[in-house]
Amino acid sequence: MHLIGEEIQRDYDKLPECKNAKEVLEKVVVVKLNGGLGTTMGCKGPKSLIPVRDDETFLDFAIKQHMATNEKHNSAVPLFLLDSFRTEETISEVLKSRNIDPNLVRQFVQSRCPRIDAETLLPVPENHDDCLEEGWYPPGHGNVLRSMYYSGILDELIAQGRFVCFISNIDNTGANLDARIAKFMLNSEAEYVMEVTPKTEADIKGGTLIEINDRIMHLEMPQVPEGHVDEFCSLQTFKIFNTNNIWVDLRAVKRRLQEIKMEIIVNKKVMSNGRRVIQLETSIGGAIRNFEKVFGVNVARHRFLPVKRTQDLLAIKSNLYDVTPEHVLRLQVPKAPFIALSSHYNAVHDFDERFPTIPDLRNITKLVVSGDVHFGENVVLRGEVEISGDGEISNRVCEGKIAF
């Protein structure tokens, strides 16, 4: 195993400017990964329907960003949502209720796979109609390429001359369509490009790129042997990580589809009845090993702004970020502060109850909240702030309180 060489790395700032964006974008399609639920944040429905700013959801941001790009360049790049069987119906209803043009935003559904009993190694469902609630799972975003093929979308887009495909997570509000990278895909004849960014302490578990037997591969935390975890997490050894903003040439996908191999991620789960099960998943980052001409493009941090926990949600809801005319969230301070919230904020509804209005965070460098603390209106926080609400009785930060 080796670290990747300089020959496959590119600095975004050194890529050629795109002065013919309209022409370039005629060859582009965008796919947003939209199959996840908001269960880790206490939500039952699609994660993309969690409000981000002023009642606008991740889905709203994705659509408005896309419309802004098309308007800016007088283009008609289509937007596809990769839903799972768990999100498709709800998202379809939302799109209809908001009168979203079905020619602009289209849905397709990824595969549905049976969970495997951890003891017998047999499928949990006995037939395709069995155990609909807990017996099935979406097999990860590595399934996107085959789902495009089986749905007919792959051939449809290639026939239209739209073979440069930009794929990203819908909860990453920084992942807007970039014509400059699209042009690089065309000029370099790359088959696969992964956007990477410098690793920080907050990203030590993020996937990275390595070289094995002259092939570029994606290495994720679950694949690392126990004795090498510290090395994997080291900022000195692996200095970049995968943003999961991926660009692929759909023509190369079609040529290689039958031979595509993915690293299998074994995800162990427990059903509500206590039955231990296994899910076999793949990631789109893992697809890089199947392509010949691949690159890692080092992008600015603002293209990686995912929301995994409510502390991430607090940051992007606050005045640490502004919304640009392109409907992109941009950090307004030199460095994002460290924010940690207690388990009392894990669920979105608990978060909203404790933050009826979002405090002024523009001048903080650190915020740690332990215990159960309710914030009032007009709260301004500055510097390194640690607030403790330990004990059974919830605590309240008074309106207008300034903490240093």
Q: What are phi and psi of 116, to 5 degrees?
A: -115, 130
Q: Are 167 and 322 in contact (CB under 8 A)?
A: no
Q: Are 398 and 376 in contact (CB under 8 A)?
A: yes
CA distance 247 to 262: 17
The DSSP H or E segment spanning 154 is helix 153-159
* CA neighbor of 304 nearest in space, from 198, 145, 183, 185: 198
Contacts with 294 (C-beta within 8 Å, 6 or more apart), sequence order: 8, 190, 191, 192, 193, 194, 216, 288
Q: Structure tokens of 281?
A: 């998943």
Q: What are phi and psi of 299, to 5 degrees?
A: -110, 165
DSSP 16: P
Q: Are 296 and 10 in contact (CB under 8 A)?
A: yes
- Catalytic residue among 32, 308, 335, 401, which? 308
Q: Would you list the DSSP string of 72-89? A: HHT----EEEEE-TTTHH
* CA neighbor of 62 nearest in space, from 194, 181, 193, 174: 174
The DSSP H or E segment spanning 265 is strand 265-270
CB atoms within 10 A of CB 233: 17
The dihedral formed by the CA atoms of 369, 375, 379 and 380, expressed in degrees to the nearest 10 = 10
DSSP 18: -
Tell me if residue 366 is catalytic.
no
Q: Structure tokens of 389?
A: 């609400």
The DSSP H or E segment spanning 95 is helix 88-97
Query: What length is written for the chain?
Result: 404
The owner of tokens 């060859």 is 27
Q: Structure tokens of 326?
A: 């392109």
Q: Which residues are catalytic?
A: 308
